[in-house]
Chains A and B, each alone.
Chain A
Amino acid sequence: MKLTSLLLSIGLLLQTCMGVRFESLISSNKNAVIKINDGNYKSLMNNEDFDLVLFLTASNPQIGCVLCNDFQPIYEQFSSSYYENLKTKGIGKDDTKLVFAMADFPSSRRFFQELSLTNVPKLYYYEATKGSTLQQQDEFQFVVMDSIPALTSWVVSKTKLSPELFTIIQKINYTELILTISAVLGAVSLLALQYKKVLALLAKKRGWQGLSIVVVILFTAGYMFNVIRNTPYVRTNRDGSNAYFIAGHQAQLGAETQIVSVIYGLLAISMVIMIDTLPKLQNGRYKLAGSIGCSVVVFLLYSWLVACFHAKNTGYPFWLLKL
C-alpha cells in the first residue's frame, strides 16, 4: 500500500512537468482514491483537465476524529465504484472528467495550511479550470443519516454526470472470506479428528477458570466502553508527550483499560497466593515472608489503582500512597 502510493506520487511528480492528464491518472491507479500529499498537491489542484472531488481528513487515531473515520470507508467505496463504473461504461456524452482524491492530515500538512483549514472532515468540489477558487456551495454537508445517497446527489448536481456512474459496487473481501472458510474447516476437521482431546480440553476446569477470570477483569476494566465508543489508544498532548488517562467518567482511552486490567490481574494473583497457596506451605518463615510480601504488593498495587482513579476523578479526596 505504501509502496504503491510512493510510486504514484513519484509518477505524479514526473507528470508535474508535463501537466497531469486525466487518462494517465486513471490508468495508473487501480480503482482507488488518489492520495494527495504535500508533494503532489500543486500539480493536481492547478490543472485544466479534470474536475476534482477532494476529501480532507485526519484518520490518525491520535487525533480521534470520529466522523472522519466513519466517512472514509464510505468515500473510498464510493470512489472506487466510480472508477470501476468508468471503465465499464465510459464517461458518457458530457465528458466531464472527474477525479476523486483525498488528503490525510499528517502527510499533507502544508496543503492544509494553504487551505487554512481549521476542522475536518471536509469534502470539496473543484471545477477543472477554476482551481482552488472555492465557492461556498461547493462543499458537501455532512449529515448523520445515510450518506451515500446524499453524496451521489451532491456529486451529480455538481458534475452533471449521470447517476449511473455512481452506483455502488459491493466488493467481496476475498482474503477475509478465505480466512473464515479455512478457519471453519480447520475447526471442523480438528473436531472430527481429535474430538476426544477437544472434549477433554473443554472439560478442563482450569481453562474455564482462567477464561472467566480474564473475561470478568476485561469487562470491569471498561473493555466494552472501548469497543462501543471506538476510543483512541492514547492521547497526544500539545507538547508531544502521551497521556494515558483522560479525566472524567465520560471518556476513556484504550491504554487505561490495559493498565487497569494489569493491576486487577496482579492484585488477583497476589490475593490467590495469599489465601490459597501460602497456607499450604509447611515452613513458617516462608509463610511469614510470603504473606508480608504479598500484603505489601497488594498495598502498592492498590495505591497505584487509587492514583489512576485520581487521574479520572480529580476531586477524589482519598489517597493510599501518593504516587
Chain B
Amino acid sequence: MASLIDNEGYLRVDPSILKLTKLLLLTLIFVSISFAAVSSRLFSVIRFESIIHEFDPWFNFRATKHLVNTSFYDFLNWFDDKTWYPLGRVTGGTLYPGLMVTSSVIYHVLKFLGLPVDIRNICVLLAPAFSSVTSLAMYLLTLEVTSSSTTLRTKKTGALLSAVFMGITPGYISRSVAGSYDNEAIAITLLLVTFFLWVKSVNTGSVFYGSLTAVFYFYMVSAWGGYVFITNIIPLHVFILLLMGRFDYKIYTSYCTWYALGTLMSMQIPFVGFLPIRSNDHMAAFGVFGLIQLVLLVSYLKDTLSPQKFTRLMYAFSAIVASVGITGLVAATKLGLIAPWTGRFYSLWDTNYAKVHIPIIASVSEHQPTPWSSFFFDLNFMIWLFPVGVYFCFQELSNSAVFVIVYAVLGSYFAGVMVRLMLTLAPVVCVCAGITLGRLFNIYLDIREEVANWWHDKKDETKDSLFTLISKMVVSATFIFYLTFYVQHCTWVTSNAYSSPSVVLASRAPDGSQMLIDDYREAYYWLRMNTPEDAKVMAWWDYGYQIGGMADRTTFVDNNTWNNTHIATVGRAMATSEEKAEVIMRELGVDYVLVIFGGLIGYSGDDINKFLWMVRISEGIWPEEINERNYFTDRGAYRVDDLATDTMKNSLMYKLSFYRFGDVYAGNDPVDRVRQQKLSANYAKSITVDVMEEAFTSENWIVRIYKLKDKDTFGRDLIDIGKKERKQLSKRNKRMLSRKKPALDLRV
C-alpha cells in the first residue's frame, strides 16, 4: 500500500512516491521551459526558411563544413587562400574552434546513430538547442546561490523562475535565434555552466568541482573571445572574498585548481596560445593566484608565530612583495613580454579611446553604448527586479551571493558601455529577478496557514487570516499578471526585432501582403554559377563572409578585420576616382566588384550609407589622398544628387551605385529613397563607368556586380575610349534628332 489514512485522519503517502512526483513535476517543468525556449526561437525558420543569418554565422558555417569534410588536425592547420586575397588567412589558428567542433561532433554522433541530418540544419538549430541547456544551467546556478539561505523555505521556486526568465529573455534570444550560428550561441551556455560549477566548488571546496570548472572554462575559451570575462570575474570574486576576510581552504582549493588547470588547458587553443601568461587581460587571474599563495602562507605563519614577530614579518614581507611585483610588471611590459591591452577590450574602460584611435571599432554598431530603453526592451520587468535581487544578496551575504553582486555590478557597467554585452548581463539579471520573485512567492503564495485556520475553523484567527489571505492573493495576482506580461513582451520583441535573417528581407507590398526581398541570395547565386571558380570579388568587408559562404568566391576583406591596411586599401579604391581605382584594382587583382545599393527600394543599410566609414578608414592611412570633408557639401550636407561634391560624384562607389539609375525611371527624375534626394534625369544619365562593365543587378537593385574590363588591346586608356565613344554617340544622336521623323499616326 502506497498510501493509507491513519488513525488521526491524515493521508499518509509513501515518501518515495512523493519524491517521484516531485521529480516528475520538475521534469515536466523543464520540458515545458525547453519547449518555450526552443519554440520562441523558431520564428525565423517558420517565416523564412532554415537559413544561416547575418554575417559572422556564414563564416562559422563555412568553417564547420570544412571541418566536417576534413579531419580535426587539417582543420586546425587550415590556411584559407580564398579570403584576404592575396594575403590569405591562417584560419585554423585565428578562430575559436569550439562552435564548429560542437556541431561536427553532433553531426557525427547523429550519423552514427543512423540519423543523417544535414550539417546546415544542425548549424541552424544549434543555438535553440543550447538555449534549453542554458535554462537548466541557470536553474542550477540560482539554486546553488540560494542554497545556504536560512530564510528561504522553498528554494526551487526562485531557481525555476530564473530558468524560465533565461529561457525567453530577449537579451539572450537576440543572439540565439535559429540560424544565428555564432559563437555566443553556445558561449552563454558555457558561461553559465562554468559559473555554476565555480559557485559549487567555492561552496564545497572540492577538487572535483574545481577541475570541472576548469574543463568548462576550457570549453568556453575554445568557443568565444568573451571568456576573458570569466578570467577576470573569478579572480575578482576571490579577491573581494579575501578583502572581506573570508579566506578559507575551500576558496584556496577551488581557485588554485581552476587557475592551474584552466590556464594550462586554455593554452592548448591555437588562437589563444601564450596569451594567458602574456596579455594584461589575464594578469588579474595570475596576480590573485600569487596573492592567494601568500595569504595561505601568512595564515599558516599567524598560527605558528607570536603576534609581535608576525607583525614585523608582515611589514617586511609586504614591502618586498609589492616592490618585486611592481618592478617585475613594469620590466616585463618594457621588455615586451606582456602585450598591451587589446583595442577592443581597452575601449571598455576608456570610452573615447575607440572613437579616436580605431575607426574600425567605432564603425561597428555593436560597440555603441546602451540607452535605458534597450535594457527594458531586452529584459522587461526584470530590470527593476534586478536591484532588489542585489539587495537580497546583501541580506544573506554568503560567498556565492558575493559572486552574484560582483557579477551584477561589473555586468551592468559593461552592458551600459557596449550594447552587445547585454548578453553577459542577462544571466545575472535573471538570477536576481528569480531570487526576488522566489522570495515574494515564498511569502505571498504560501497560504497553508490561512487555509488550515479556515479548515479547522479556529474562530478567533479566522478573521485575521482572511485579511492576510486577501492581501496575499492581491500581491500574487499582480505579479502573476506581470509574468504573463513578460511572456507577451518577450514574444513580441522576439518576433518583431530579432527574427530577421537579414539575408532575406521582409517588407510589405502596397496591398499589405508580405513580400520577400531575396536579392542577396540571388546575387550570390549568380556569382556562384556565372563566374570562374577563382574569380576574386571586391566588396566592403561586411559582405566578405557572405560572399565566401554563399557564393564560394575569393574575397579581399571580410568581417574578420585582422588587417586594417588591407581594408583601407579596399576603402581607398571605392573612395577615389575611377582612374586611381583602376590602378589599385589591377594591383590587387580584382575581377568583380560588388556593391550594395538601397536607393531604389529604400534599403538603408547600403554601401552609400556605409561609405563614410570607407572614407574614414582609408583616410587614416592615406590622409593626403582621401579627405572626409570633400565628401560633404560646403554646407556640411551628405548629398548624392546633383548637388553632391565633385569628389563624391567621381568616387567609384558612387558611380557603381548610381550607374544607369535613371533608366529605371524612364526619363523621369530618379529618387534615392534612402537619402530622400532627387537626381535630375539629365544628371543621372551623365553618370558613367568606363573601367568596369555592369555584370549583374539584382531584382530590387540591392546588389550590383561589375566586372573589371580587360586592358585595352592597343594599350589605350579605358576612360579615354569611353569618352570618345560617348562623343561619337552624342554626335550620332544629334544627327538622329535633326533628321525629321515621318509622322506615323493615322491621318483622318
Total residues of chain A contacting the partner, CB 8 A: 62
A288 part of interface (Cβ distance < 8 Å):
yes
Question: Please, which residue of chain B has its CB at the minimum distance from the CB of A225?
Answer: B369
Encode contact with A along B445-475: 1 for CB under 8 Å, 0 otherwise. Answer: 0000000000000000000110110111011
Encode contact with A along B374-401: 1 for CB under 8 Å, 0 otherwise. Answer: 1111000101111110111011010000
A272 CA to B478 CA, complexed, in Å: 16
B344 part of interface (Cβ distance < 8 Å):
no
Contact A144 B416 (CB under 8 A): no
User: Is the contact region of chain A dominated by helix, strand, or loop, or is it mixed?
Assistant: helix
Cβ–Cβ < 8 Å partners of A209 in chain B = 390-391, 394
Cβ–Cβ < 8 Å partners of B374 in chain A = 222, 249
Of A219, A228, A291, the most chain B CB neighbours within 10 A belong to: A219
Contact B386 A216 (CB under 8 A): yes
Given contacts A212-B408, A224-B370, contact A279 B376 (CB under 8 A): no
Contact A219 B464 (CB under 8 A): no
Encode contact with A along B341-378: 1 for CB under 8 Å, 0 otherwise. Answer: 00000000001100000000000000001111111110
Tell me the minimal C-beta distance from B696 to chain A in angstroms.
34
A128 part of interface (Cβ distance < 8 Å):
no
Cβ–Cβ < 8 Å partners of A272 in chain B = 388, 391
A251 part of interface (Cβ distance < 8 Å):
yes
A47 part of interface (Cβ distance < 8 Å):
no
Tell me the minimal C-beta distance from B441 to chain A in angstroms.
10
Q: Out of A263, A275, A284, name the residue touching B467 (CB < 8 Å).
A: A284
User: Which range contains the number of B residues in contact with the other chain?
Assistant: 35 or more
Q: Which of A95-103, A154-162, A182-190, A294-302 contacts B (4 or more CB under 8 A)?
A: A294-302
Contact A212 B616 (CB under 8 A): no
Q: Out of A213, A221, A223, A279, name the residue touching B443 (CB < 8 Å).
A: A279
B residues 610-649 in Cβ contact with A at 8 Å: 616, 619, 623, 627-629, 634-636
A residues 281-320 in Cβ contact with B at 8 Å: 284-285, 287-288, 291-292, 294-295, 298-299, 302, 305, 309, 312-313, 317-318, 320
Question: Please, which residue of chain B has its CB at the minimum distance from the CB of A320?
Answer: B485
Contact A144 B616 (CB under 8 A): yes
Q: Out of A229, A305, A317, name the residue touching B376 (CB < 8 Å).
A: A305
Cβ–Cβ < 8 Å partners of B485 in chain A = 318, 320
Contact A298 B478 (CB under 8 A): yes
Cβ–Cβ < 8 Å partners of B474 in chain A = 291-292, 295
Q: Out of A143, A205, A212, A309, name the residue touching B628 (CB < 8 Å).
A: A143
Q: Which of A105-113, A166-174, A252-260 contacts B (4 or more CB under 8 A)?
A: A252-260
Question: Please, which residue of chain B has its CB at the minimum distance from the CB of A220?
Answer: B375
Q: Out of B412, B465, B468, B482, name the residue touching A215 (CB < 8 Å).
A: B412
Q: Out of A229, A271, A276, A318, name the residue touching B489 (CB < 8 Å).
A: A318
Of B394, B395, B412, the most chain A CB neighbours within 10 A belong to: B412
Contact B492 A275 (CB under 8 A): no
Contact B387 A216 (CB under 8 A): yes
Contact A213 B623 (CB under 8 A): no
Contact B383 A220 (CB under 8 A): yes
Given contacts A143-B628, A219-B412, contact A288 B376 (CB under 8 A): no
A116 part of interface (Cβ distance < 8 Å):
no
Cβ–Cβ < 8 Å partners of B470 in chain A = 288
B704 part of interface (Cβ distance < 8 Å):
no
Tell me the minimal C-beta distance from B452 to chain A in angstroms.
16
Given contacts A227-B351, A284-B467, A302-B482, contact A267 B416 (CB under 8 A): no
Cβ–Cβ < 8 Å partners of A263 in chain B = 384
Cβ–Cβ < 8 Å partners of A205 in chain B = 394, 397
Cβ–Cβ < 8 Å partners of A285 in chain B = 467
B436 part of interface (Cβ distance < 8 Å):
yes
B286 part of interface (Cβ distance < 8 Å):
no
Encode contact with B along A102-144: 1 for CB under 8 Å, 0 otherwise. Answer: 0000000000000000110000000000000000100001111
A26 part of interface (Cβ distance < 8 Å):
no
B444 part of interface (Cβ distance < 8 Å):
yes
A interface residues with partner B (beta carbon < 8 Å)? 118-119, 136, 141-145, 205, 208-209, 212-213, 215-217, 219-225, 227-229, 249-252, 256-257, 260, 263-265, 267-268, 271-272, 274-276, 279, 284-285, 287-288, 291-292, 294-295, 298-299, 302, 305, 309, 312-313, 317-318, 320
B interface residues with partner A (beta carbon < 8 Å)? 351-352, 369-377, 381, 383-388, 390-392, 394-395, 397, 405, 408-409, 412-413, 415-417, 436, 439-440, 443-444, 464-465, 467-468, 470-472, 474-475, 478, 482, 485, 488-489, 492, 616, 619, 623, 627-629, 634-636
Offer 17 A-B interface pairs, CB within 8 angstroms, sorted by A: A142-B629, A209-B390, A212-B394, A215-B413, A222-B416, A224-B416, A227-B351, A249-B377, A264-B384, A267-B388, A268-B391, A274-B475, A287-B471, A288-B471, A291-B444, A292-B474, A309-B376
**Interchain residue pairs A-B with the least CB separation, the first 4:** A222-B372, A224-B416, A312-B373, A219-B412
